[in-house]
Structure 1
Amino acid sequence: MHRLIKHGLMFGNLFHVDSPALVERYNRALEHLTGKRTELSDFHIDISGYSPEVGDELDDHLYLNHAGVNRQFILLSMEQRGCPLLNTKFSTSREILQQFMDANEAQLFALTARDAVTGELVNSVYDVSTPARLFDIRRVEIEADTTGGTLRDAEKLGGLVDRFKSEPDGWFDDVLIAEMITLAGKTGDVIRNPVKLKQMGFDQRNFWTAHFGGLYLFQDLDHPALIAPAGKDGLEDLPIKYVFDAGNRNQIAKFFDYNDLVEPIVKARGVDAAAILRQKMDFILVDAVADLGVDLSGANRADMRRLARHHGDKLPPEFHALGALVRWAENGGAWPRITSDHPAYFYTLRASDTKDAALVNMLLAELAPKDARQMFICHKELFYRTYAGWAETKKAYVADFLVAEYQVDKAGARAALFGHDAPMEEPRRAKPDPVSEMIARVGPWGAVRRR
């Protein structure tokens, strides 16, 4: 993993806690939440305040996420808003924290100027000892305050001010006035500058969880399902009709289609479909030759073509199917029929424009595991776990590619691969094809018969 860390592909973009004042604030917050402190003089934290260095020191990388539910957080700076979330247990957690910080930007900026803000992502489930407990997670709410209880004191002070203004003898109540003065010294003027965070709740019906080998739960759809790529063992007697694993390719394809969750890359508007598919082919090629001692450093397009010619007998069906699709997209060749039984099928799809697009792309990354770029962008937990088992040649190639092609423009790369902005005009293929009209009516894989 040192190569990834060196290039900023792992533990990158974290907030550096490097001043005695920030370290002390972090320790007060850490002690407030967990009863523990760190002896480190500097370390890095993610959006939630989790630090891999502190986790190593405490020998507990779930010190802010006990049992993997109801994640706690420590905010030292609004700069954390752009940080990643490490050790993710639920796919929705980072987005919830970002929305909370966006909605309370001014208040959090003022509060973190003097103290750390601590809190928790709260739902009704305190453990997920069984898969059925996941179905009890329906809504997540955020509870937050400073380590010193500024918000609690501000609320109390507001109540005292109301008493002072409404009670006839308020002006003569020395005890009331003294208590107001004491609290005001902690909170400031809550009349002119009210200190209050918005009460926020977030529905959590469709999500991925790392528990039980990694599960994708889609409840808020016309046709709900639980998808467990690693297998269905132990997932019996759940309150959902359909449970699929990676072997149920036809069923997953129908699930996608019935809920309009995916679209073929070659039909996506405003993207260079051939370039995207060709890059997927490169990753498949690298995966096929990585154990042959081939030098891939600095490989260009001509080098990749030469590798494909020399090692054609080693190339899997995914490579040849995507190649046929590229030829159709660029030159109007014969239309390749790729059904859901084919190992290349999920490589040809991307999420359609729905509220669950990120979750669907995450699932597609797991169903098309040789596309290292999509896996890194959409499912980093899986990428890091899979990367550890790759040959050194593949590790080097993928890391170099991500540095050169992704790190330089992350937003642009995401938009090119997964964006849904309509272009000013319809994209055109190099040559028209007589099957175009049929594809427009039924889709590139043919009509899917619905029950």
Structure 2
Amino acid sequence: MKRLIEKGLMFGNLVRVDAPALVERYNRALAHLGKPRTAQTEFHIDISGYSPEIGDELGDHLYLNPNGVNRQFILLSTEQKNSPLLNAKFSMERAILRAFIEANEAQLFSLTARDAVAGELEDTVYDLSDPRRLFDIHRMVVVADTTGNHVAESEKLTGLIERFRAEPDAWFDDVLIADMISLAKRTGDVTRNPVTLRSTRFETEDFWTAHFGGVYLFRSVPHPAAICMGEREVLGALPIRYVFSGTQRNEIAKFLELNGLVEPIVSAGGADVGAILRQKMDFILVEAAAELGLETGAGTRRDLRMVAQRLGERLPAEFHALAALLRWKEAGGPWPRIDSRHPAYFYTLRAAQTPQKDLVNMLLAELSPLDVRQLFICHKELFYRLYATWPDAKRAYVADFLEREYQIDKAGTREALFGPEPSMEAAEAGGRPARQVKPSRDVVDIVGPWGRIGGQR
């Protein structure tokens, strides 16, 4: 992993903590959360305040995430909003933390100027030994305060002020006035500088969890389902009608189609289809060459074309299918029929513009793992796990490519591959997919370039 770290592809954008005052605030926050103090004088933290160095010191990399649920967090700076979330157990946790920080940035900036803010993402589920408890997670509530309880005391003082203004005899209540003065000494003037935190409740109907080998749960779509990427038997009976394993490709394809969650890359508006398909083909060639021990030279497209010539009949089926799709798109070749039984099927899709877009792209990345760029962008936990198993030649190629082609323009690359982010209207549509309005309804719009989904049901 050293190569990824050096290129900023792993542990990138962590916040460095090396000032004695910040280290002491972090220790106070640890104590506030019931954790042991750290002896570290320099360390790095992610968006939740988790530090890999402290995890090593404590021998517990889940010290802020016991049992993998109800993640705790420590904020020393609002700059943490740009940091990744390491050791993620749920797909929505980073998005919730970032949304919370952005919604309360001015307040948190003021609070963290003098103290650490510590808290928890509460979902009322404290143990996931039974998979059915995943279905008890519907909402996460962000509970946060400084280690000195500044927010709680400010709210208490605000209540006393309202009582003072409302009660006609409050001027004669010496106890009430004394309490207000005492609290004001600690909180400051809350009438001019109120300390309240908003946007603390987040709906979580659709999510991925690392528990039980990886489970994707879609509950807000018209046809709900759970998709298990580990052993299906581990889940047992679940309170949802449809449960698919990762090997049930046709059922997953039908689920995505029925709910309007995907669109063919070749008909995606604004996408440079040729560039996307060629890059996917390059990744497939690199994998094939690595498996056979073939040299890929500098990894340029010319080098990879030479690899394709050497592979000949050993070229993977995914490569042939994407090449045929590229010929159809650019050279008027015959229409390739790629149904859900074909190993290239999920490489030809991307998420539609729905509230579930990020989750669907994460699922597609896991179903098409040879597309290492999408895997890195959409499912970093799986990317790092697979990266450790690759031959060194493939690791070098992938790390160099991501540094060169992705790091320099992350937002532009994401938009080119996956389209613009969903509108606020779609994000607030109760979790249901937004209807896609297309200018025409030709055969590609209706069934895609490969025909209707096929395969055994």
Q: What TM-score, normalized to structure 1?
A: 0.93
Alignment of 1:309-324 (within 5 A): 309-324=309-324
Residue 430 of structure 2 is matched in structure 1 by none
Q: Distance in 2 between matches of 1:63 and 1:247?
A: 34
Verify the 8 A CA contact 2:321 2:338 in the aligned structure 1. Answer: yes
Counterpart selection for 2:448 from 409, 434, 443: 443
Residue 411 of structure 2 is matched in structure 1 by 411
SS in 2 for 1:333: coil
Q: Deviations over 1:82-136 (max 9, x none)?
A: 1111110000111111111121111111111111111111112111111100001
Identity of aligned residues (%): 64
Gaps of at least 5 residues in structure 2 are 423-440
Larger deviation: 204-213 or 34-43? 34-43
Verify the 8 A CA contact 1:131 1:235 in the aligned structure 2. Answer: yes
Residue 215 of structure 1 is matched in structure 2 by 215
Q: Deviations over 1:217-253 (max 9, x none)?
A: 1111111111112231222211111111122111111
Residue 239 of structure 1 is matched in structure 2 by 239
Verify the 8 A CA contact 1:269 1:420 in the aligned structure 2. Answer: no
Q: Deviations over 1:247-274 (max 9, x none)?
A: 2111111001110110110010101111
SS in 2 for 1:364: helix
Alignment of 1:152-163 (within 5 A): 152-163=152-163
Residue 435 of structure 2 is matched in structure 1 by none
Q: CA deviation at 1:327?
A: 1.3
Residue 427 of structure 1 is matched in structure 2 by none
Q: Deviations over 1:376-402 (max 9, x none)?
A: 000000000111100000000000000
Alignment of 1:245-324 (within 5 A): 245-296=245-296, 298-324=298-324
SS in 1 for 2:24: helix
Q: Deviations over 1:1-55 (max 9, x none)?
A: 1111111101001111111111111110011102311111111111111111111
Change over 3 Å in CA distance of 1:442–1:291 after alignment to 2: closer
One-letter identity of the residue aligned with 1:131: P
Change over 3 Å in CA distance of 1:336–1:448 after alignment to 2: closer
Q: Deviations over 1:380-425 (max 9, x none)?
A: 0000011110000000000000000000100010000001489xxx
Q: Distance in 1 between matches of 2:410 and 2:331?
A: 30
Alignment of 1:21-40 (within 5 A): 21-40=21-40
Residue 15 of structure 2 is matched in structure 1 by 15
Verify the 8 A CA contact 2:224 2:240 in the aligned structure 1. Answer: yes
Change over 3 Å in CA distance of 1:339–1:57 after alignment to 2: same
Verify the 8 A CA contact 1:297 1:396 in the aligned structure 2. Answer: no
RMSD: 1.9
Change over 3 Å in CA distance of 1:441–1:91 after alignment to 2: closer
SS in 2 for 1:311: helix
Alignment of 1:108-257 (within 5 A): 108-167=108-167, 170-198=170-198, 200-257=200-257
Q: Deviations over 1:47-88 (max 9, x none)?
A: 111111111111111111110111111111110011111110
Residue 337 of structure 1 is matched in structure 2 by 337
Residue 106 of structure 2 is matched in structure 1 by 106
One-letter identity of the residue aligned with 1:46: D
One-letter identity of the residue aligned with 1:110: S
Q: Distance in 1 between matches of 2:211 and 2:374?
A: 22
Gaps of at least 5 residues in structure 1 are 423-435
Q: Distance in 2 between matches of 1:34 and 1:86?
A: 21
SS in 1 for 2:235: coil
Q: Distance in 2 between matches of 1:73 and 1:297?
A: 45
SS in 2 for 1:34: coil
Number of residue-to-residue matches in the alignment: 438
SS in 1 for 2:234: coil
Verify the 8 A CA contact 1:14 1:45 in the aligned structure 2. Answer: yes
Verify the 8 A CA contact 2:85 2:94 in the aligned structure 1. Answer: yes
Q: Distance in 2 between matches of 1:325 and 1:232?
A: 33
Verify the 8 A CA contact 2:46 2:85 in the aligned structure 1. Answer: yes
Q: Distance in 2 between matches of 1:40 and 1:366?
A: 37
Verify the 8 A CA contact 2:281 2:323 in the aligned structure 1. Answer: yes
One-letter identity of the residue aligned with 1:111: L
Verify the 8 A CA contact 2:283 2:371 in the aligned structure 1. Answer: yes
Q: Distance in 2 between matches of 1:173 and 1:223?
A: 60
Does residue 4 of structure 2 align to residue 4 of structure 1?
yes
Q: What TM-score, normalized to structure 2?
A: 0.92
